[in-house]
């Protein structure tokens, strides 16, 4: 049950990148954590889940997308396709299957895309999903509608729009490639069936992913067992002790 850091290579040739992975061995169901846009695998939620796994003897795997944290690659090269490929590669080697996949913000979108691929293939490596302020279809539902004419012009001219972050001095870099690639993965108004339980935890005070976005998602998960927890005094980060307790409770209930 020791914590080990490893690296895997995803992609070939010029597209190859080194992905940093933190793994703790243990029993199943294990946990796979998918972080958010411009976050990393050593954040508060990831560390709390690791502590839970260590205490309960469960396996847990977390990693950094390319361009994030300890992984290689430029952030500006990132797309949903690229990060989804990396998440799938980590899932392929993660211990403790079937896994409870915890997806935070953008990681919630990637978690659903992973689960849909698993359901289509008939595999049973995912025991359920815990989605934290899931930024489903974020490129077209959450980013594009809030871009001014000036921001769109900046993106067309330079290939990227730099959006100030409320959480750090480094702006979010929204590239034209990210927006265009995101269109390939939109879940939109289609029914979503992953054949596994889903628990969504959403802050009502979230300014990045409005709580109505989570309610809309529930309506599209009609074929699955879904629990939605709205936390009336929580924002986007869901990193307070009381929020972390809700996250761990949700993981434990599915596991």
Q: How many C-beta neighbours within 10 Å does residue 145 have?
A: 7
In the three-class reduction of DSSP (H, G, I as helix; E, B as strand; rest coil), residue 231 is classed as strand
In the three-class reduction of DSSP (H, G, I as helix; E, B as strand; rest coil), residue 39 is classed as coil
pLDDT of residue 170: 78
∠ CA(232), CA(131), CA(11), 5° rounding?
Answer: 145
pLDDT of residue 115: 97
pLDDT of residue 62: 98
1-38: buried (b, 16+ CB within 10 Å) or exposed (e) per residue? eeeeeeebebbeeeeebebbbbbbbbeebbbbbbbbbb
pLDDT of residue 234: 98
Mean pLDDT for back-to-back runs of 10 residues, the chain (255 residues): 93 96 97 96 98 98 98 96 98 96 98 96 96 98 93 93 78 92 94 95 97 96 92 97 98 96
pLDDT of residue 97: 96
Q: Please, what is the angle between helix 241-254 and helix 44-56, to 10°?
A: 50
- Pairing of the two strands 126-132 and 58-63: unpaired
Question: What 8-state DSSP symbol labels residue 27?
Answer: E
pTM of this structure: 0.96
């Amino acid at each position: 049950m020791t914590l080990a850091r490893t690296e895997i290579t995803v992609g070939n040739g010029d597209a190859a990148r080194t992905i940093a992975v933190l793994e703790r061995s243990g029993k199943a169901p294990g946990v796979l954590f998918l972080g958010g846009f411009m976050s990393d695998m050593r954040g508060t939620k990831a560390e709390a889940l690791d502590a839970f796994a260590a205490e309960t003897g469960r396996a847990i795997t977390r990693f950094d997308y390319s361009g994030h944290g300890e992984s290689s690659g430029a952030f500006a090269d990132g797309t949903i396709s690229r990060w989804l490929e990396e998440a799938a590669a980590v899932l392929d080697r993660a211990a403790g299957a079937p896994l409870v996949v915890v997806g935070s913000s953008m990681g919630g979108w990637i978690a659903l895309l992973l689960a849909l691929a698993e359901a289509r293939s008939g595999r049973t490596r995912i025991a359920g999903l815990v989605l934290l302020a899931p930024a489903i279809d974020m490129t077209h539902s959450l980013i594009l509608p809030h871009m001014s004419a000036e921001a769109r012009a900046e993106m067309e001219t330079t290939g990227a729009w730099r959006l100030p972050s409320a959480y750090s001095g480094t702006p979010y870099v929204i590239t034209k490639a990210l927006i265009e690639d995101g269109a390939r993965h939109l879940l939109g108004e289609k029914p979503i069936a992953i054949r596994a339980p889903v628990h969504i935890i959403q802050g009502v005070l979230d300014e990045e992913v409005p709580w109505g976005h989570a309610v809309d998602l529930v309506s599209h998960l009609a074929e699955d067992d879904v629990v939605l927890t709205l936390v009336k005094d929580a924002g986007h980060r869901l990193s307070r002790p009381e929020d972390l307790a809700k996250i761990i409770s949700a993981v434990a209930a599915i596991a």
